[in-house]
Structure 1
Amino acid sequence: MNQFQNKFNQFMRGRYGNDQLNIAVLILGVILSLISSLVRIEILMLPSYILLGFMIYRAFSRDYLRRSKENSWFLKYWYPVENWLLRQKRQLKEMKTYKFYRCPECRQKIRVPKGKGKICITCPKCRTEFIKRT
């Protein structure tokens, strides 16, 4: 095992390897492949093969600068999506104990505890007061 690992490490030396873009391309390729096999639409297999081939090409590429630029471009668009997904996940967790409202003036999302009856809510951003039932 150690000999194989050494040979693989020697082979990968100077190559780009994996990054977030490769992982995203791999996941997308596997999802397309699964959809293709479940729905029995063979035409979806071609894009999944292309994506998987692109991922392998990027992993074994020696052009470090170009691959890192591609990854930074991907991350520029991925991070806002990831942050939105994390906020939605947190809000779903907190739905048992909190209610969420939007300020009628500035549209700021406000979290208030559930079960307090009718309360006066003050927006922390614009100081607008409005009454809601929790």
Structure 2
Amino acid sequence: MNQMKDQFIRFMTGRYGADKLGRFLTAAAFVLFIAGLLIRGSWLDFIAAAVLAVSYYRMFSRNIRRRFEENQKFERLCFSVAEAFRRWRFRLQQAVKFHIYKCPDCGQKIRIPRGKGKIKIHCPKCNADFIKKS
């Protein structure tokens, strides 16, 4: 058993290996295989096999710099998607607790807590006062 492990370690020396993009591609291929079983679509199995082949190609590649750049692009994409979701969730949480009003004079956004009734709002930018219901 140790001999096979040593052979595999020698084989993988100088190769890229698994990274976040590779794990994502492998998981996507698995999901596509399962969907192919449920839908009974051979075209879905073909796509899953192609995605898995790309994953293994990246894993066994010796062009480490290129695979690293691909992974960095994937990481940036994941971050931007996660950041957009975080911003959306924050805005939703704020909408539950606060009203956002615009000053009628300058257009400055002002955040007011909900449930205070009619209140006089003072704009910090242009010093205008206006009345709104919170």
TM-score by length of 1: 0.64
Unpaired runs of 5+ residues, structure 2, are none
Cα distance between partner residues in 2 of 1:39 and 1:130: 60
Which secondary structure state, in structure 1, belongs to the residue aligned with residue 74 of structure 2? helix
Q: 1:43 to 1:86 in 2, by over 3 A?
A: same
1:54 to partner: Cα distance: 0.8
Please tell me whether Structure 1 or Structure 2 has the larger radius of gyration of its CA atoms: 2
Summarize the alignment of residues 95-134 of structure 1 with structure 2, pairs less than 5 Å apart. 98-99=97-98, 101=100, 105=107, 113-118=113-118, 120=121, 133-134=133-134
What's the CA shift string for 1:48-67, capped at 9, x where partnerless? Answer: 11111111111121110111
Unpaired runs of 5+ residues, structure 1, are none
Cα distance between partner residues in 1 of 2:127 and 2:34: 51
Cα distance between partner residues in 2 of 1:50 and 1:58: 12
Identity over the aligned pairs, expressed in percent?
Answer: 31
Report the aligned-residue RMSD.
3.9
1:81 to partner: Cα distance: 1.6
**Count of residue pairs the alignment pairs up:** 129
